[in-house]
Amino acid sequence: MQRSVHLYEFCYLFLIGSLIYSLLEIVFRGYTHWTMTLLGGISGAMLYAVASDTSCPLLLQGISGALLITAAEMVTGVLANLSLRWNVWDYADMPLNLYGQICLPFTLLWFLLSFPALWLCRRIRKKLRRSEENTLLL
């Protein structure tokens, strides 16, 4: 069942997503770009929204997460790489890529990473809701 999500929850997940995405970039690429920090925050907030629909099967949530992150990566890539020519990344050498901005291997990676991210989102939601209930009781 879909339930309402408060703005502070999205902000909280935006910050967590920004941090995690940036750290993953630094660990695996050795550096990151500020646009990736924003993309990570947006991805975290989107995954939180997906995870808050408890009636949706987990597999569908993982697929949704992968497609949402890939779509956000495409928008960011078109703006940062193709329009502004910042050359933040280039998937042109990857198989099944679209304009060098997204590719099937990374979509599959986002699918796999969506499951621990969705788990984290559910844990955070429980903790935030529990904290909110305790505050209301005071």
Q: Write down the H helix ranges in the chain.
A: 7-29, 34-51, 58-77, 104-137
pLDDT of residue 5: 85
Splitting the chain (138 residues) into consecutive groups of 10 residues, what average pLDDT does each group show? 79 97 96 97 97 95 98 98 97 98 98 98 92 65
pTM above 0.85, yes or no: yes
Q: Residue 35's pLDDT is what?
A: 97
State residue 135's pLDDT score.
67
Cα separation of the two ends of the chain: 28
pLDDT of 129: 84
